[in-house]
């Protein structure tokens, strides 16, 4: 195998026109640049590159050739590699300390700036998160009413409301739902609940929230319920009057009719009488009321020419 001999003349020609004067520095810088472009740079390798550049600044070339051999071995042909190694020895002494020192300082400044930026971003993110959590309040927004098998939705006249089986939940502003214990919410009904056949409204209240539902009150077959009333008059009662504004209802009696087909006379103090004069000015509509039912009849003013029938 032939040996390649490189003398000073050949090296000087290679170094002409500054083609290789900064080759070693550029090789080392290329390693640093490639690492900085990675998502996860090899910080140990970058530190080693900086140490090599520091060695060049201090005219210490003992680690330059081993580093180039380790980092770039296999990337060039043997002949070219021999030339580069030879050039490295000479160039190590020729590279200006200013250029290498500048490169080292720039790399250090860049790394410090990256560390400062990362710290700033982390601090800002933490502060924002803490502020958001401290100002968020979870509040109840809606009542949700449901029932289990113990709930009673139909009652017989005379029965009282039974709150068993009513389940109350609240929906919070964050979307969560939780069940409220029976002692923490209030259920109310009308004071006359269960006294007559109808649908009754039940109100549920928790803090400032309210919700309603209905139950049905039915008449039991054996329950005596008021159906209607009527007014009865003596046989000689005249449904005509001389003064439409002063009607005499003496002798009138009021009777209540119940669901079991029985009737009872209503005491005078247990019903009311209302009089309405109709637009013709000669007729009055009489309304008799007792509890939730009423009866009506008319009285007409007598005029000249009317017979006594």
Claim: this prediction has a pTM higher than 0.85: no
Relative to beta strand 177-180, strand 166-172 is: antiparallel
Q: What is the pLDDT of residue 93?
A: 47
**Per-residue pLDDT tens digits for 190-247:** 999 998 889 999 999 999 999 999 999 987 776 777 889 999 999 999 899 989 999 9
Q: What is the pLDDT of residue 253?
A: 96
- Does domain 226-301 match CATH 1.10.3470? no
Q: How far apart are CA 141 and CA 249, in angstroms?
A: 59
Cα-Cα-Cα-Cα torsion 21, 27, 33, 37, nearest 10 degrees, comes to 150
Answer yes or no: are the C-beta atoms of 49 and 56 closer than 8 Å: no
Q: What average pLDDT is seen over the chain?
A: 78
How far does Cα 18 stand from its chain's mean position? 70
Report, as an integer, the average pLDDT of 123-143. Answer: 65
Sequence-distant (6+) residues with CB within 8 A of 232 are 252, 253, 254, 255
Q: What is the pLDDT of residue 54?
A: 80
- Does domain 140-218 match CATH 1.10.3720.10? no
Cα-based distances in Å from 221 to 216, 224, 284: 16, 8, 39
Q: How far apart are CA 233 and CA 251, in angstroms?
A: 6
Choose among 236, 243, 237: nearest CA to 301: 243
Domain boundaries, the chain: 8-131, 140-218, 226-301
Q: What is the pLDDT of residue 70?
A: 72
Report, as an integer, the average pLDDT of 291-295. Answer: 92
Domains 140-218 and 226-301 are alike in CATH topology = yes
Phi, psi of 265 (to 5 degrees): -75, 135
């Amino acid at each position: 195998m032939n040996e390649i001999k490189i003398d000073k003349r050949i090296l000087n020609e290679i170094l002409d026109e500054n083609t290789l004067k900064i080759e070693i520095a550029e090789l080392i810088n290329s390693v640093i640049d490639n690492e900085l472009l990675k998502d996860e740079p090899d910080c140990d390798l970058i530190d080693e590159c900086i140490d090599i550049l520091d060695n060049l600044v201090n005219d210490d070339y003992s680690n330059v050739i081993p580093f180039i051999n380790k980092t770039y071995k296999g990337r060039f042909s043997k002949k070219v590699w021999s030339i580069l190694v030879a050039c490295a020895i000479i160039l190590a002494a020729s590279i200006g300390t200013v250029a290498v020192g500048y490169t080292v300082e720039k790399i250090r400044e860049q790394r410090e700036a990256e560390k400062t930026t990362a710290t700033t971003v982390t601090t800002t993110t933490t502060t924002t998160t803490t502020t958001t959590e401290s100002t968020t309040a979870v509040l109840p927004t809606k009542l949700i009413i449901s029932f289990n098998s113990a709930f009673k939705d139909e009652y017989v006249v005379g029965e009282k409301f039974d709150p068993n089986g009513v389940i109350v939940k609240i929906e919070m502003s964050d979307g969560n739902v939780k069940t409220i214990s029976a002692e923490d919410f209030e259920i109310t009904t009308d004071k006359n609940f269960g006294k007559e056949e109808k649908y009754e409204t039940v109100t549920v209240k928790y803090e400032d929230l309210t919700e309603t539902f209905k139950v049905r009150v039915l008449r039991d077959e054996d329950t005596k319920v008021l159906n209607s009333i009527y007014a009865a008059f003596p046989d000689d009662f005249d449904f005509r009057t001389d003064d439409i504004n002063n009607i005499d209802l003496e002798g009138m009696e009021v009777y209540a009719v119940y669901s079991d087909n029985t009737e009872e006379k209503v005491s005078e103090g247990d019903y009311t009488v209302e009089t309405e004069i109709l637009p013709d000015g000669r007729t009055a509509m009489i309304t008799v009321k007792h509890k939730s039912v009423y009866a009506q009849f008319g009285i007409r003013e007598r005029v000249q020419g009317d017979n006594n029938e």
